Structure 1
Amino acid sequence: MESKKYLEDISQIKDLMNRSSRFISLSGLSGILAGLYAITGAFIGYMFFLPKGDYVVLHSWNFKMIAGILIAVAVLSSVTAYLLTSKKAKKNNEKVWDETTKRLLINFLVPLATGGIYILIKLNSQHYGLTASLMLIFYGLALVNAAKYTIGNVRYLGYLQIILGLICAALPGYGFWFWVIGFGLLHIIYGSLIYFKEEKA
């Protein structure tokens, strides 16, 4: 009887340690909505601003419009993630902003910002072909790097983004569709798995 209680105490201690070192209030619904935002933005860009059979040249009007759509998708996804995650954290009596959150953001943003700057350098050098693959790869690296501070499933999304980015690099000319799969479809699938597994449990 005492050994059973001892094992229960150990399990509770491990759970507390896990909660104190990981941010676990990520909302699956925010992943689904981020994917929908990405697909909607891609559709608008494809229909109105993406030249057929050509690359978007830096400083062109089309580039500015597509960049605006990308920024809008990123802002909408970030705001949605914050609002839904805050709601979930409040429901679970957890803090949204603490040392763990800071570490998560730093580990996520460093590779992401590095990738963004590198992509802009390549675009400025008129190297347009690998833009989509680089976005997927650096985003995947950011997810894997931040995964140790949140629920472990995030790293698998990161691995898939990296693999998709590498395949995209090997198949030039299909970057747009790989981008839609990575930032749209994969987010919807991942968000759905998290939502039904953890939020409906």
Structure 2
Amino acid sequence: MDSQHPPLETLQDIKRIMERSSRFISLSGWSGISAGICALVGAWAAQHRINSYVQTVYGGSFDSGRPRHYGLDTPAALYNDLFLIAAITFTTAFISAFIFTWIRSRRNGTRLWDRTVQRLAWNTMLPMVVGGLVILKAMEMEYFELVAPGCLIFYGLALVNASKYTLGEIRYLGYGQLILGIINLWAVRGGLYFWAAGFGVLHILYGAIMWWRYERKSSSQ
């Protein structure tokens, strides 16, 4: 029986080598956790800014009728501030995710930019770029209620599309984003909460699961 073990171990080594050559497996669970935390902070900042606008212009509620006055707080100022919050949130999340992935890539001895990573980047960015153009057009036409579900749906498609070139579990994160985005299409007034749930809570859960599965043992050694 023992004589059968070396061939079996050899096959397992070959399988690992093939997986390394065709998939980028150095995504860090901490990348998901840090991105999720950034998203929750960004959602809190956006909600705080919206509440300030509503209190100033509508006297506390959108349902209270026409605006009382704008003063220095105009719709354009609100949109600019929300865009700035979104840009800062995305940049911070991207940088933190990159740093943790870079650290794990160094630890695993894998390259951070090779042909596999290029395919991963292309399959991730294509749906996101197309989605960004669709969302910009929706904003131009003042369909602002479609921004949050559009972000979730196109991001979910990007994750599912990219799962062929990285850890397979990432497709389930994509499915979660798609489900939340589709539900949000019929619950448009809760867009910010769906956005926070998708980009914040799901990322943190995904990151924690990935850390537990793939990084816990190595970090304890």
Letter of the structure 1 residue corresponding to residue 105 of structure 2: A
User: How many Å apart are 1:98 and its aligned residue?
Assistant: 0.5
In 2, Cα distance between the equivalents of 1:4 and 1:80?
42
Secondary structure (helix, strand or coil) at the match of 1:130 reads: helix
**Alignment length, in residue pairs?**
198
Question: Does the 8 A contact of 1:49 with 1:65 survive in 2?
Answer: no
Secondary structure (helix, strand or coil) at the match of 1:173 reads: helix
Match of 1:38 in 2: 39
Match of 2:176 in 1: 160
Per-residue CA shift, 1:161-182, capped at 9, x if unaligned? 0011001112121111101100
Letter of the structure 1 residue corresponding to residue 119 of structure 2: R
Match of 2:161 in 1: 145
Question: Does the 8 A contact of 1:32 with 1:188 survive in 2?
Answer: yes
User: How many Å apart are 1:197 and its aligned residue?
Assistant: 1.9
In 2, Cα distance between the equivalents of 1:4 and 1:193?
31
Question: Does the 8 A contact of 1:130 with 1:169 survive in 2?
Answer: yes
Match of 1:170 in 2: 186
Match of 1:76 in 2: 92
Letter of the structure 1 residue corresponding to residue 25 of structure 2: I
In 2, Cα distance between the equivalents of 1:197 and 1:2?
31
Match of 1:185 in 2: 201
Letter of the structure 2 residue corresponding to residue 8 of structure 1: E
Secondary structure (helix, strand or coil) at the match of 2:213 reads: helix
The alignment's TM-score, normalised by the length of structure 1, stands at 0.93
List alignment gaps of at least 5 residues for structure 2: 55-60, 63-74
List alignment gaps of at least 5 residues for structure 1: none
**Over aligned residue pairs, what C-alpha RMSD do you find?**
1.7
Secondary structure (helix, strand or coil) at the match of 1:76 reads: helix
User: How many Å apart are 1:2 and its aligned residue?
Assistant: 5.0
User: How many Å apart are 1:3 and its aligned residue?
Assistant: 4.1
Match of 1:113 in 2: 129
User: How many Å apart are 1:155 and its aligned residue?
Assistant: 0.5
- Runs ≥4 in structure 1, deviation > 3 angstroms? 1-4, 49-54
Match of 1:7 in 2: 8
Letter of the structure 1 residue corresponding to residue 170 of structure 2: V
The alignment's TM-score, normalised by the length of structure 2, stands at 0.85
User: How many Å apart are 1:8 and its aligned residue?
Assistant: 2.1
Letter of the structure 1 residue corresponding to residue 173 of structure 2: L
In 2, Cα distance between the equivalents of 1:2 and 1:97?
40
In 1, Cα distance between the equivalents of 2:23 and 2:9?
21
User: How many Å apart are 1:6 and its aligned residue?
Assistant: 2.3
In 1, Cα distance between the equivalents of 2:208 and 2:7?
37
User: How many Å apart are 1:48 and its aligned residue?
Assistant: 2.0
> Does the alignment pair 1:85 with 2:75?
no
User: How many Å apart are 1:78 and its aligned residue?
Assistant: 1.1
- Looking at CA atoms only, which structure, 1 or 2, has the larger radius of gyration? 2
Letter of the structure 2 residue corresponding to residue 163 of structure 1: I
Identity across matched positions, percent:
39
In 1, Cα distance between the equivalents of 2:173 and 2:192?
19
Per-residue CA shift, 1:100-140, capped at 9, x if unaligned? 11110000000001001100011101112221111000000
After TM superposition, the structure 1 stretch with the greater mean CA deviation from structure 2, 59-68 or 89-98, is 59-68
